[in-house]
Amino acid sequence: MAKGMREIKRQIKSKQNTKQITKAMEMVAAAKLRRSQDAALAARPYTEKIREVVASIASSGGSIKHPMLETREVKRTAYLVITSDRGLAGGYNVNVLRKVSTALREHKSANEYSIFVIGRKGRDFFNRRGIPIAEEVTGLSDSPSFSDIKSIAAAAVQGFEAGKYDELYIVYNQFHNAITQTPVLKKLLPLADLESTGSKTSYEYEPTPEDVLNVLLPKYAETVIYSAILEGKASEFGARMTAMGNATKNATKMIAGLTLTYNRARQAAITQEIAEIVGGANAQQ
């Protein structure tokens, strides 16, 4: 009995240590979530405004042409996949990787798609399956700047312009709140069906709309990618905070159950000792 009680006590101590870790991780994620959420929400108006300007130029005349606006026969597709560097974030990475895996099943061979990946979890996922990665970025800070992902964003956009692939999709978690993050597979290029969702505004361009468009189109695509990074970071911390909160609650329940079992075993041991003492005393009479 004593051995069993020591084992239960050891398990209680182990669960208490785990609870302290998960509680600390929950609090850290909550603190980081606030900053990431503010950054993600602040980026949305800028992304929408540049989208409005680009859409206004693209629809201003039929003579305006640009490789990023042209729809061509799809022979090869590229995916930019945004994951995290660390785990313990619930279904954050699983949902995104499941989304892109479903899309990849439509292709018969690796020659029909290219993969750009941000985050170690995504990189390791594709490496384990022998899927070639065109370019990768890992080790992003908790508050990434545009310069951190500029190289991979530019490579993905320039690859489309150069005709290396005919479509570019971005796969990430869209942030709604700390509990809800939605995996999204969003078509980024071509921009043939680009339409402004905001109010129609008249602009004057210098030197010409075509020159402005040549500068803005790549910048717009890169801005959408960066905005998705910020959405992904906010989603990551929200998912981690929720996952660690649930883990803390589960640890609390397990500790309560083990404590009850320990107290019952201790009570049984004491009762048994009392019965042996009484039995020994009666035998001596």
Q: Are residues 11 and 57 in the same domain?
A: no
Q: Are residues 154 and 261 in the same domain?
A: no
Q: Are residues 159 and 134 in the same domain?
A: yes
Q: Which pLDDT does position 3 carry in this prediction?
A: 60
The answer to whether residues 54 and 213 touch, using CB atoms and an 8 Å cutoff, is yes
| pLDDT range class, residue 51, cuts 50, 70, 90 | confident
* Least confident residue range of 98-102, 118-122, 205-209, 213-217: 205-209
Domain residues for the domain of 216 are 28-242
The predicted model scores a pTM of 0.84
Q: Which pLDDT does position 116 carry in this prediction?
A: 97
Two tokens at 141?
A: 């800070």
Q: Which pLDDT does position 178 carry in this prediction?
A: 86
Phi/psi-derived region of residue 136, left when phi > 0, alpha when psi is between -120 and 50, beta in every other case? beta
Q: Are residues 77 and 34 in the same domain?
A: yes
Q: Are residues 226 and 112 in the same domain?
A: yes
The answer to whether residues 54 and 216 touch, using CB atoms and an 8 Å cutoff, is yes
List the CATH number of the domain containing 96. 3.40.1380.10
Two tokens at 120?
A: 């170690």
Q: Are residues 231 and 260 in the same domain?
A: no
Q: Are residues 185 and 250 in the same domain?
A: no
Q: Which pLDDT does position 197 carry in this prediction?
A: 52
Q: Are residues 103 and 214 in the same domain?
A: yes
Q: Which pLDDT does position 210 carry in this prediction?
A: 77
Q: Are residues 69 and 129 in the same domain?
A: yes
Query: Rounded to an integer, what distance in angstroms lies between the CA atom of residue 268 and that of residue 253?
Result: 23
Per the prediction, the chain carries an average pLDDT of: 87
Over residues 63-121, the pLDDT tens digits come to 667 778 788 888 999 999 999 999 989 899 999 999 999 999 988 787 889 999 999 99
The answer to whether residues 217 and 69 touch, using CB atoms and an 8 Å cutoff, is yes
Is residue 281 over pLDDT 70?
A: no
Mean pLDDT across 212-224: 86
Q: Are residues 93 and 116 in the same domain?
A: yes
Q: Which pLDDT does position 137 carry in this prediction?
A: 95
Q: Which pLDDT does position 174 carry in this prediction?
A: 93
Q: Are residues 238 and 260 in the same domain?
A: no
Query: Rounded to an integer, what distance in angstroms lies between the CA atom of residue 71 and that of residue 249?
Result: 51
List the CATH number of the domain containing 6. 1.10.287.80
Q: Which pLDDT does position 60 carry in this prediction?
A: 65
Mean pLDDT across 123-139: 94
Q: Are residues 150 and 250 in the same domain?
A: no
How many independent structural domains does the chain possess? 2
Give the percent of the chain with pLDDT over 90.
Answer: 59
